[in-house]
């Protein structure tokens, strides 16, 4: 039976090992959840450091500072509730204790009632990377497939325009037969990435497929083969390959989705998507002017929208290249590119697009290369 601990706006679901605040799963790892569970099982009672470390790292010898790190992470999350950071009390030379208001919900009927409704969809494309299926028939290979998912999740998180569900939330479905549409609804995402890992001798095959959960359409699928000589290097290479393949696929899917919208009440993001495929083709002067219209509308919605600023810079650069009012378009393109970098200089896509525009406009090539190096370092 699942035990749920409720305290303030938070809930710890012990079987899934997930900490929620209202409907949102919080990005705390299994170690922190183990520490919190041990404290909640004995509310108001001192729990020794040794007991907490055994709860989080069973059978392992770890340094005490690892426990300190997990306690700090929990306090940061609890601080979202006024006074919540003080719910975990430090007892010098004794350990810690939980002094917040806590209720234990063991009744299955109650558990169903307090389970969160589907979270609202984020205002940008969203994806969940599901636990990969271990096809090796060897339980010891679970660590490899779990590590693969973690690496892919991290790689996808570098795509700034994509909302990636935390690993803890998707791993609540590990070992369960699930319906993709139901999972997407419960997690509040549009896209789901599934996969499997099959190991034979010293070789491994990893397959992955990307699904639009709203339509059930398979958008992309591929497989990767490699040697297990260096497990972590293989995980890293596959994660980068998957993220690199998925990004343009998702972008194309979002453009198709946006094109099917009515032309009223569009958000800045949808307006940006309408201009994106035009300005990265080889458009006519008229098509460029038509694409700049939605971008200017997007910047009315959000004047600090970095991706739209960088794309507008490309539009003006292309008009400059066509010889259309060159001085005006050169000035506007440089201004837009600089605005974009100033506002969103940690977004690799913005950096790359701004550098591309500045290259057409004849700006300092060394600066452009530095911008591209920075973009590659970020993603």
Q: What is the CATH number of the domain that holds 358?
A: 1.25.40.10
User: From CA 194, how far away is CA 131, in angstroms rounded?
Assistant: 7
User: From CA 351, how far away is CA 309, in angstroms rounded?
Assistant: 11
User: From CA 287, how far away is CA 271, in angstroms rounded?
Assistant: 15
Alpha carbon of residue 240 to chain centroid: 14
Question: Residue 360: which of 336, 339, 377, 344 has the closest Cα?
Answer: 336
User: From CA 16, how far away is CA 38, in angstroms rounded?
Assistant: 15
**pLDDT 10s per residue in the chain (379 long)?**
568 899 988 999 888 788 988 878 888 888 899 999 999 998 888 999 999 999 999 888 878 888 988 998 899 899 888 888 889 999 887 899 999 888 887 644 444 334 444 455 555 788 999 999 888 777 767 878 888 888 898 888 888 888 888 877 788 888 887 788 888 888 888 899 999 988 877 888 899 999 998 888 899 999 988 887 777 788 888 888 888 888 888 888 888 877 776 555 567 888 888 888 888 788 888 999 988 998 998 898 888 889 999 999 999 999 998 988 999 999 999 999 999 999 887 888 999 999 999 999 988 888 889 999 988 888 8
Q: Are residues 285 and 175 in the same domain?
A: no
Report CA dihedral (260, 261, 266, 270) to the nearest 10 degrees.
-20
Q: Are residues 289 and 350 in the same domain?
A: yes
Per-residue pLDDT, 226? 84
pTM of the entire structure? 0.58
CATH of the domain at 76: 1.10.10.10
Name the DSSP class of 123. Answer: S
Residue where one domain finishes, among candidates 226, 258, 290: 258
Residue where one domain finishes, among candidates 62, 81, 114: 114
Q: Are residues 142 and 247 in the same domain?
A: yes
Residue where one domain finishes, among candidates 202, 232, 258: 258
Per-residue pLDDT, 193? 94
Per-residue pLDDT, 113? 38
Name the DSSP class of 217. Answer: E
Q: Are residues 250 and 152 in the same domain?
A: yes
Per-residue pLDDT, 327? 93
Q: Are residues 86 and 171 in the same domain?
A: no
User: From CA 234, how far away is CA 148, in angstroms rounded?
Assistant: 9
Overall number of domains in the chain: 3
Q: Which residues contact 39 (CB under 8 A, 6 or more apart)?
A: 47, 52, 88, 96, 97, 98
User: From CA 281, how far away is CA 160, in angstroms rounded?
Assistant: 23
User: From CA 174, how far away is CA 194, in angstroms rounded?
Assistant: 12
**By residue range, what is the domain housing residue 44?**
4-114
Per-residue pLDDT, 107? 44
Give me the residue label for tokens 């958000």: 267
**Is residue 120 included in any domain, yes or no?**
no
């Amino acid at each position: 039976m699942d035990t749920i601990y409720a305290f303030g706006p938070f809930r710890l679901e012990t079987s899934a090992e997930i900490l929620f605040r209202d409907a949102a799963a919080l990005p705390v790892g299994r170690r922190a959840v183990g520490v919190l569970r041990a404290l909640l099982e004995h509310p108001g009672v001192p729990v020794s450091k040794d007991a907490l470390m055994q709860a989080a790292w069973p059978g392992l010898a770890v340094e005490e500072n690892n426990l300190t790190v997990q306690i700090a992470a929990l306090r940061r999350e609890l601080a979202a509730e006024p006074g919540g950071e003080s719910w975990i009390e430090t007892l010098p030379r004794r350990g810690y204790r939980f002094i917040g208001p806590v209720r234990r919900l063991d009744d299955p009927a109650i558990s169903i009632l307090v389970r969160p409704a589907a979270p609202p969809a984020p205002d940008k494309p969203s994806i969940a990377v599901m636990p990969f299926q271990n096809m090796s028939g060897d339980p010891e290979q679970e660590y490899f497939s779990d590590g693969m998912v973690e690496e892919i999740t991290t790689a996808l998180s570098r795509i700034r325009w994509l909302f990636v569900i935390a690993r803890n939330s998707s791993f609540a479905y590990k070992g369960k037969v699930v319906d993709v549409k139901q999972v997407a609804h419960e997690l509040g995402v549009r896209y789901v990435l599934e996969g499997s890992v099959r190991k034979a001798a010293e070789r491994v095959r990893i397959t992955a497929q990307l699904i639009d959960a709203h339509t059930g359409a398979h958008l992309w699928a591929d497989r990767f083969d490699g040697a297990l000589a260096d497990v972590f290097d293989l995980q890293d290479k596959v994660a980068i390959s998957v993220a690199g393949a998925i990004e343009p696929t998702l972008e194309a899917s979002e453009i198709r989705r946006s094109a099917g919208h009515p032309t009223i009440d569009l958000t800045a993001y949808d307006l940006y998507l309408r201009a994106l495929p035009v300005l990265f083709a080889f458009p006519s002067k008229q098509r460029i002017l038509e694409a700049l219209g939605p971008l200017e509308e997007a910047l009315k919605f959000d004047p600090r929208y970095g991706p739209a600023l960088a794309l507008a810079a490309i539009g003006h650069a292309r008009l400059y290249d066509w010889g259309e009012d060159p001085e005006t378009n050169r000035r506007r393109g440089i201004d837009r590119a600089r605005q974009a970098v100033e506002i969103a200089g940690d977004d690799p896509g913005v950096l790359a697009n701004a550098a591309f525009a500045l290259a057409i406009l004849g700006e300092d090539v060394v600066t452009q290369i530095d911008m591209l190096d920075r973009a590659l370092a970020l993603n």
